[in-house]
Structure 1
Amino acid sequence: MKKLIIELLQKNGVGSQLSQYISYIVLICIVFIAALLADLISKKVILIAVEKLVKKTKNRFDDIFMDKKGFHYLSQIAPAIVIYLSAGMFPLIKTGLHKLSLIYLIIITIIVLFKLMESIEEVYSGLNISKERPIKGYIQVFQMIATIIGGIMIISNLMNKSPWKLLSGIGAVTAIVLLIFKDSILGFVAGIQLAANNMIRIGDWIEMPKYNADGDVIEINLTTVKVRNFDKTITTIPVYAFISDSFKNWRGMSESGGRRIKRPIYIDATTIKICTDEMLEKYKKISYISEYIGEKSLEVNEYNKNIDISQTANGRRLTNIGTFRHYVLSYLKNNPEINQNMTLLVRQLEITPQGLPIEIYAFSKDVVWQNYEKVQSDIFDHLLAVLPEFDLKVFQNPSGNDFKNSLLGIDNSYFQQTR
């Protein structure tokens, strides 16, 4: 084409030297127009046709790929191909045009691969299995490998060397590369272990005191796990920390259908006493323990037949604390909010300076935090309210008013004695 342009120019009286310059300018204009036309056709015709076709399909993947401008980046390949194929028209800069065109094509290819992987990840995240087996880390590994390969191809293109020869020559810097990508490599290995052992999923409630993390997992990627704490802060934890350090995952509680209630009521030890006949008659009117009182009374009377019970220490007796403990157990067994298929007990712990602990150990049916707290509060609201019915009191450290009342009592007693 160049010769044809020069011949036409010389026939019209243009000098040979000037014809050379003009032919170059004409060729540049032709290539520029061809590249511009290729760009217009690919974007205004082919891309619009593809977008219309995508909208008609029911497949969600191509819609996401289009939204991420994947097809848009593909359309940008056309001008680069035109320039690459036209480089032979410019012998002086042919090599440079080839190199620049190839670099541009490599970069566009990497970007399109990134968009492709992001689209796959977004489609996958809409599936239920994505919470159990997130693939974001693997996507990032693929993107990292694609970037490294693209970089090697660009460098080999600039140096006019085969990528394989270039790779064979970088053995000396392997240690540096491993150091740079240390977190990525550790994260990738840890991610495989986490996925294989099903140790953590998106949505899991985890506790990791070392990193001040206590909340729900919202993201798992190649190098980090993001946790939204209950105070709405975000904690970022290295993936490999879940392999090297300990953490608590509450998923087992969520899946078991029960959330543990483990809390004591501290009873004032001075209010514990043996039940009198009047007390037992009063307790018999309580529906949850009326049968228990009747059976226990018969059992105790049968045991005490041949024993001198004129002394309180002789024989067996029912106590208000033991009766209350049985009432709590019966109350929990009749509570529809308590999971009856899991451990349920009411136990007496070692006495402390704060009183005698009567501990409830049970599981609520509802594992949702708000509902669980309501169930637990309702139980203890009731038990604290009925405690005086058993002639018992909750232990409470004396306050300023208690000391004040005690002193007033002493003063009044002294005043009456001196009158």
Structure 2
Amino acid sequence: MNLEHYLPVNGGLRASILVAGLFLGAWLIGLLVQWIVQRVLHTLALRTRWVWDDVLLDHGVARWLARAVPPMIIQYGIVLIPGVPDRYDEGIARLAEAWLVFCMGMAVSSLLSGLDQLYRQGGPVQRQSLKGLVQLARLVVMIFTGLVIVGVVTGRQIGLLLSGLGAMSAVLLLVFKDTILGFVAGVQLSTNDMLRVGDWITLPAAGADGHVLDIGLHAVKVRNFDQTIVTIPTWKLMSESYQNWRGMVEAGGRRIKRALLLDASSVTELTPEAAAGIWPGEAATAYLQGQLPGLPDGRSGAGWQATNLGLFRTYARDYLERHPRIRQDLAVVVRQLPISGEGLPLELWCFTQETALAGYEAVQSDIFEHLLIQLPRFGLRLYQQPAGTDLRAIGAGMREAATTVPGA
């Protein structure tokens, strides 16, 4: 085709008009291709039950591939325009090729993001997170894309650019320190299955006590139970100790470990006749006969004496063993702790079937409320610090006693 016949102007102006037309045509064709691709893929996505086409469409993979059409037209069309100086021809071709490389790099990066979303949607929430690895892969893709673009624009080989980066390794290590630490920590967390999205973790040093929302290359997001979000550097989960409650959820039992503070002065000896009037159960009869559960022979030693506290401890254990919400295949223990200035602690150690907070607290409250109202039945009293009403009652009693003393 003889373009000079259709554009009878001088060479420089003709070349400029043709280059401008090439750019305009490439831009219009790019818009048309994007519109067609978006409409076709959107229609196919609506008619199929697959999820991957919707995800890739939402992440713009097809959009970036369509944007690669204009630079391809410019790169291969610029050589067909007569009268363009070689230096301009080569420069425009290089810029178009750099644009093409950038679009392809963004398409690959979007594809990786879409694959990560497909992975997270393809199974339960408690799956291992690959977001850190995907972010690292995207970073590598963008660095490689940048090197290729620099090499295309400058006309240098990538090997020479990489050799220059080797001389700057100390600077690169300093710049990407957090990225390297986060990548190493993410690999260890994922390989050892130490952390998953959805896990309940506790890290007091970072103020974290809630469920893991996201595991990234640089940070882990945790939603606390007060609905605040804490961001923790990924490497910090390897350098500091944290508590993961996943084992509790998988076991299906949440531990109750709480004590009743009893008044030690209310503990008394107990006769079989008195015990029969308090609690005439089989476990009470076994206790009065000196049969103590947990001992190898089930018998108490010499000098053993029944007490109202021991009977109440037996009652509490029997109550827990009969409770429908307590796991009987896990430990059920009622024990005394050392006496302190706060009274005589009687601790309950058991596991509920309810692991959710609301159900767990409901079962725990029900157990302790029942035991509290049983204390007077066994002749026991709770220990607590005197309240203001107690002090006023003591003062009123002292004043009343003083008024009844002769000569006062």
TM > 0.5 fold call: yes
- TM-superposed CA distance for 1:297, in Å, is 4.7
Contact 1:5/1:23 (<8 A) preserved = no
Stretch moving more, 226-235 or 45-54: 45-54
- TM-superposed CA distance for 1:129, in Å, is 5.9
1:168 match: 163
Give runs of aligned pairs for residues 14-413 of structure 1, distance below 5 A.
Answer: 18-28=9-19, 30-32=21-23, 34-88=25-79, 89=81, 90-92=84-86, 93-128=88-123, 131-276=126-271, 279-283=274-278, 286=279, 289-297=280-288, 317-413=305-401
SS of the equivalent of 2:170 reads helix
Which contiguous aligned blocks of 4+ residues in structure 1 show a shift greater than 6 angstroms? none
Stretch moving more, 177-186 or 289-298: 289-298
Residue identity in the other structure for 2:335:
R
Structure 2 distance, partners of 1:316, 1:22, is 115
Stretch moving more, 244-253 or 82-91: 82-91
- TM-superposed CA distance for 1:56, in Å, is 3.1
Change (3 A) 1:244 1:39: same
When normalised by structure 2's length, the TM-score is 0.89
Structure 2 distance, partners of 1:351, 1:282, is 28
Contact 1:47/1:75 (<8 A) preserved = no
When normalised by structure 1's length, the TM-score is 0.87
- TM-superposed CA distance for 1:200, in Å, is 0.6
Change (3 A) 1:21 1:91: closer
Contact 2:283/2:318 (<8 A) preserved = no
2:402 match: 414
- TM-superposed CA distance for 1:326, in Å, is 0.7
Structure 2 distance, partners of 1:262, 1:344, is 10
- TM-superposed CA distance for 1:55, in Å, is 3.3
Change (3 A) 1:58 1:254: same
Stretch moving more, 369-378 or 165-174: 165-174
1:304 match: none
Change (3 A) 1:96 1:37: same
Identity %: 35
Q: Deviation digits for residues 301-320 of structure 1, max 9, x if unmatched?
A: xxxxxxxxxxxxx9754211
Stretch moving more, 76-85 or 407-416: 407-416
Structure 1 distance, partners of 2:139, 2:7, is 53
CA RMSD of aligned residues (A): 2.3
- TM-superposed CA distance for 1:360, in Å, is 0.7
SS of the equivalent of 2:306 reads coil
Contact 2:37/2:62 (<8 A) preserved = no
Residue identity in the other structure for 1:357:
P
- TM-superposed CA distance for 1:115, in Å, is 1.4
Q: Deviation digits for residues 222-249 of structure 1, max 9, x if unmatched?
A: 1111111111111111111111111111
Q: Deviation digits for residues 266-313 of structure 1, max 9, x if unmatched?
A: 111111111256522312xx3xx522444455669xxxxxxxxxxxxx
Stretch moving more, 380-389 or 69-78: 69-78
Structure 2 distance, partners of 1:9, 1:372, is 85
Q: Which has the larger radius of gyration?
A: 1
Change (3 A) 1:136 1:9: closer
Unaligned runs of 5+ in 2: 292-301
Contact 1:124/1:130 (<8 A) preserved = no
- TM-superposed CA distance for 1:128, in Å, is 2.1
